[in-house]
Amino acid sequence: MMSQEQNDLITRTGPADPAGKLMRKYWQPAALADELDGPRPVKAVKLLGEDFVLFRDENGAYGLLDRACPHRGADLAFGRLENGGLRCAFHGWLFDKDGQCLETPAEPEGSNLCRNIRQRAFPVVERSGILWAYLGEGEPPAFPEIDCFVAPEPYTFAFKGRIECNWLQALEVGIDPAHASFLHRFFHDEDPKAAYGKQFRAASAGSELPMTRILREYDRPIINVERTEYGMRLIALRLIDDERTHVRVTNQLFPHGFVIPMSAEMTITQWHVPVDDETCYWYAIFTSYGAPVDKKTMRDQRLELYQLPDYVSRKNKTNDYGFDPHEQATETYTGMGADINVHDQWAVESMGRIQDRTREHLGQSDKAIIQYRRLLKQEIEKAVSGARPLLSLDEAHARSIQGPATMDGIGPTRGWEIYWMEVDVKRRRAAPWAAPVPEEIATKLPHLSAAE
Ligand code: FES
Ligand SMILES: [Fe+2]
């Protein structure tokens, strides 16, 4: 069991907190790129407990500044976009994307006051439909060359959703392979053809068995966890019979992301970004190895649940997540409908804003969570001591982080160790954008990964 101090250490991410120092060594999703579409590309953003204003200037460059004006503290999120920057609506001070004050129009003619005024400013870049900000000191790290960043634009789709709880419990549901057999259980199977864009509904790769049936009938997975260069690999095995085993390979992407399969064609790479210590956003990039992503369908599907402008779920604590006891008796494990995002959101929000880990009892099925927390503490120590933590990369190293292999399928009970790599490599090689085979796998499967 964990002490309160330990729980605080791994959950709190303000500027003075150790885990906050760790988080500030990474690019953080600050907004979806399309949140700045429209005539006034200015948006208030709260990230890691701090308030900022995000904007795109007249030259198309992005800026992220502290939100309170350095003159007398008015809110720059209500500012005017003009003259190459963002102008405070109170007395007209103008700031460029680097935070330099360019004009203080109420000051006497010839005043030099603005020269010495600089608002804190942070770099922002767009990658795969997300605007990423770097809140740390020094040079920002390089992006790893993982699939969701390598895939061309037509093959990715980005979305987000708000969760009313600490980032860590939102992440931990994604490295908990056992929960899918319970929380996401459906008592009946759907036609897999109607499954586009949905998780756990299609047939598992290499089989006619719907994923819903496998998860329902084989609920005691064997979970293997390996440390990797990017975080952890989880392999969950569900033994069907002597011949067949369901294999699901997911990844923890350090510090606050995961990569999971959505269907035979797509994966989801998802980060759990602290707004503050009691609220987070999930940001996801859906990556297709098959046809280009049907972005409109995927967005429309998600907008049925998530409400703009804040991407808040329509099913939430205020309406019991749509809980229906009759449905719980006959259709689903939760009684909260078919959308697995709702299930996950209920699970993590119902634990409280910051889960009280001094009262939990972990079992063997929680082994990935246990190992992740150990890793997190170790990397927090590194960050606090000024060393580079895991996956805070320089350019050269960033190129060596590829993949990661992520899949779901039914393979041989004897030979699953090779099978999941083969499935992943075949999909990469068939992808229209020729997704690179991660080096680690290329060395283990030279017959498959060598170029023909
Ligand atoms: S408070 Fe912003 S210009 Fe005065
Ligand atoms: Fe889940």
Q: 90 in ligand 1 pocket by Cβ < 6 Å?
A: yes
Which residues, in sequence order, are CB contacts of 98 under 8 Å at separation 6+?
A: 63, 121
Closest ligand 1 atom to Cα of 92:
3
CATH topology of domain 145-449: Naphthalene 1,2-dioxygenase Alpha Subunit; Chain A, domain 1 (3.90.380)
CA of 219 to the centre of ligand 2 (A): 14
Closest ligand 1 atom to Cα of 104:
3
CA of 27 to the centre of ligand 1 (A): 29
Mean pLDDT by 10 residues, the chain (452 residues): 96 98 98 96 98 97 98 98 97 98 97 97 98 96 97 98 98 97 92 66 70 90 97 97 96 98 94 98 98 96 96 98 98 96 98 98 97 98 96 92 95 96 95 93 79 48
Give the mutation target among 67, 88, 95 for probing the ligand 1 site: most ligand atoms within 8 A of CB. 88
Give the pLDDT of residue 448: 72
Give the pLDDT of residue 420: 97
384 CA to centre of own chain: 24
pTM for this model (two decimals): 0.95
Residue nearest to atom 3 of ligand 1 (CA): 91
Give the mutation target among 90, 103, 111, 117 for probing the ligand 1 site: most ligand atoms within 8 A of CB. 90
Task: Determine contact, residues 436/144, Cβ cutoff 8 Å.
Answer: no
Q: Look-up: residue for tokens 């405070």?
A: 88
pLDDT digits (tens, 9 = 90+) for 425-437: 999 999 999 999 9
pLDDT digits (tens, 9 = 90+) for 80-115: 999 999 999 999 999 999 999 999 999 999 999 999
Task: Determine contact, residues 286/297, Cβ cutoff 8 Å.
Answer: no
Give the pLDDT of residue 85: 97
CA of 274 to the centre of ligand 1 (A): 29
Q: Which CATH architecture fits 27-134?
A: 3-layer Sandwich (2.102)
Q: Around ion ligand 2, which residues have CB less than 5 A away?
A: 344
Residue nearest to atom 4 of ligand 1 (CA): 91
Q: How far apart are CA 366 and CA 346, in angstroms?
A: 19
Domains 27-134 and 145-449 share a fold: no
CA of 51 to the centre of ligand 1 (A): 17
Closest ligand 1 atom to Cα of 76:
2
The domain locations on the chain are: 27-134, 145-449
CA distances from 195 to 21, 150, 265, 411 (A): 41, 26, 12, 22
